[in-house]
Structure 1
C-alpha cells in the first residue's frame, strides 16, 4: 500500500511539471498573428443582377376524408345518444311524478351513461345540493385554508 501511495505522488508530480512546462512555452511563444481581412472596394460597389426570389411555399395539413367522415359519424351518434338519454329521463320523470317522491329519492338506478345519470341527479330534489357537496369533497377548497 505504501508503494501505491508513492507511485501516485510520483505521477502527480510529473503531471505538475509537464503542465508548468506547457505554460512556460505558451508564455514564451506569442500567438500567431492573423492576417487582417479586408474587402475589395472595387467589388463592393458593383451592381449585381438580382435574382427573383422563389415563391414561398406554405404547408397545409389536409386530413383524410375518412377521418372527417368518421368524426362526423361519431358526433351524430353522440347527439343521438344524448337525445335518447333525454327521452329516457323524461319518461322517468313522468313515472316519478305519478309515484311517490320518497321512493324515487331512495332508488337511483344507474343507466351506465354518465351524462344521463348526471342529468337525472340534477333534476331530482336536492340533487344540486348533493352535486355541490360532492364537488367540495373531490376538489378541496384549499384557497380558504
Structure 2
C-alpha cells in the first residue's frame, strides 16, 4: 500500500535496484510512459489504466484499483517503474486471495514483464530474486475481472 513499506517490498525494491534497473536506465517521456502502460494493458487484455503524473520527487509511485490508474512521480519515468506498477494491477487477483502486494505472483509477473518488454534474461532475475529472499510464483497470474467488480475498490499499492 502507498506510504507503507514492508520487508517483502523492501526486498523487491532492492532486487530491482540490483538486477533490473542497471539494465533499463532509460528515462521515458510522458507519452512513452503512457505508451508502455497501454502496451502492458493490451498484452494482459485488461482496461488501459489512466496515467497520472505527479510533479514531486519525494512521494512513491503507485497503482490504484478504485480509479484504475497508475500514479508516476517525476523520479519514476522509467520502464522498470511503469512495469512494476502495472504488475500490481495485473496481479490484483492474487492480492485479493491474501497474497502480499509484492508476493510470489507479483514477482513472477515482474520477471515476465522485464523479460518481455526489456529483454532481460529470466534466469539471472530469478536467481537474484531468490538471493533477496523473494518467492516466485509457479504460474503467471492473469487479469480476470474489471475494476469495480469487487469489494476492494479502495486499494492502492
Q: Which has the higher strand share?
A: 2
TM-score (norm 1): 0.20
- Looking at both structures, which has the greater relative contact order when contacts are Cα pairs under 8 Å and sequence separation is at least 6? 2
Larger radius of gyration: 1
Q: Which has the higher helix share?
A: 1
TM-score (norm 2): 0.19
